[in-house]
Amino acid sequence: MSDALTVRAFQELIEERYSTTDRARGTPGTFMWFIEEVGELATALQDNAIGKSPTPEQRANLDEEFADVFAWLCTLANIHGVDLEQALTKYTDRSRVEGVKD
């Protein structure tokens, strides 16, 4: 793997390391783990709110929770055969990008 990690390379790494367990757990169990990590991210975001002075440990936890959410998202995508890098062209292909949601 090169120094620059692509979305596809990370998704493949997750597939290589965890696919047997992930597929055995299936979508319902995996989605529950994903939602748990989203909840932990929500807590970390509160600890790092703008205007607050988070501790170095709180800041490190925020980084970790973002990584966990992304890893579980990749797991769900792998279970369902979704290439996230391809799916993200929805946002990177200028011919498909439309407006901003409020």
pLDDT 10s digits, 7-24: 999 999 999 999 999 999
Domain residue spans of the chain: 25-92
pLDDT tens digits along 49-73:
988 888 999 999 999 999 999 999 9
Q: How confident is the model at residue 92 (pLDDT cuts 50, 70, 90)?
A: confident
Determine the Cα–Cα distance for residues 42 and 12; give it in Å rounded to an integer.
27
Question: What percentage of residues in the chain have a pLDDT greater than 90?
Answer: 76
pLDDT score of 42: 97
* pLDDT at residue number 101: 67
The pLDDT value recorded for residue 82 is 98
At the top level of CATH, the class of 25-92 is mainly alpha
The answer to whether the predicted template modeling score (pTM) of the entire model surpasses 0.85 is yes
